[in-house]
Amino acid sequence: MFSFALVAAATTLAHQPAQEVFVETEELGDGVYALITGRGGNVGLSVGEDGVFMIDTQFAPIAPFLDRAQRAVSGDQPVQMVLNTHLHGDHVLGNAWFAERGAVIMAHESVRPALINPVTANLTGATPDPLSGDFLPIVNLSGGETLTLNGQTIRLYHEPDAHTAGDIWVHFVEADIIHTGDLLFSGWFPYIDLDNGGTVNGFIAAMQSMVDVAGPDTQVIAGHGPMSTEADLEASIAMLTEGRARVAALVEAGHSYGEVLAAEPLADFHEDWNWRFITTERMIWTFYRDITGDIPQEN
Ligand SMILES: [Zn+2]
């Protein structure tokens, strides 16, 4: 017992973050919450008589603050189940904190092998090293599963080629709430991870499948960005569809990547959609690579 306590204390210290992280807790109704820090993928939470179900875990130093925020609304219960919406570091690196406290980690079946594989793990950007042990999902989903939890029917949908190859989005049916994972960057150009099986048309199709399920009053927790609605999904679909078509027309006319860039095909989208990670140029780069299969060189 003593050594266990010592290990637990050491683990706590190792995870102790240096700085306070502010977690904004948005109560959406029916025991569903969004935990928003602006530092990683937005977290979803279902709290009720069956326990605590968390969607995504952000980064290791942030996990203790997410835990504190969820305990404030769950009556100090530990998280029982975690779903990772996909493999990126800003959605999975808090896993160990919750697994060490009893949570079962779930993800699409492609996520666990990808996190173990050093090549794939290095391509996830915010996931610098292969992961092991408590970081890894132990329930491997194929999509189409339904959870019955806290009075909710919770449907899990897999999108095979959207943001990555292993995206799952979540619909709380009775509460009428969707957690999109990274299938919605609300009001921003989206990151589409072509190295991990993402495609532009698959990303558009994924957003359309959420629109098909959503109604005008559906509350949408975006992977990144503020609380959103069906209209935000539709706006992103329209922008991506039009943007890809413009770049495809330039490619079909025989233009090089440099010529496509110079033509500024997304100029009128820049003010609304450009942001520091996916700039307008990066979005054109993504469209060009998605259409041609070639990794564009700058000149
Ligand atoms: Zn992501």
Q: Is residue 201 part of a domain?
A: yes
How far apart CA 129 and CA 173 sit, in angstroms, is 36
Q: Is residue 215 part of a domain?
A: yes
What is the Å distance from ligand 1's center to 193 Cα? Answer: 8
Number of domains in the chain: 1
Q: Is residue 186 part of a domain?
A: yes
Q: Is residue 86 part of a domain?
A: yes
- Domain assignment of residue 66, given as a range: 18-229
Q: Is residue 239 part of a domain?
A: no
Q: Is residue 65 part of a domain?
A: yes
What is the Å distance from ligand 1's center to 65 Cα? Answer: 21
> What's the predicted TM-score (pTM) here?
0.92
What is the Å distance from ligand 1's center to 9 Cα? Answer: 32
Ranges in the chain, pLDDT < 50: 1-15, 299
What is the Å distance from ligand 1's center to 191 Cα? Answer: 7
Q: Is residue 268 part of a domain?
A: no
What is the Å distance from ligand 1's center to 281 Cα? Answer: 19
- pLDDT at position 44 is 98
What is the Å distance from ligand 1's center to 86 Cα? Answer: 7
Q: Is residue 199 part of a domain?
A: yes
pLDDT in tens, 151-205: 999 999 999 999 999 999 999 999 999 999 999 999 999 999 999 999 999 999 9
CATH number where 106 lies: 3.60.15.10
N-to-C CA span, the chain:
63
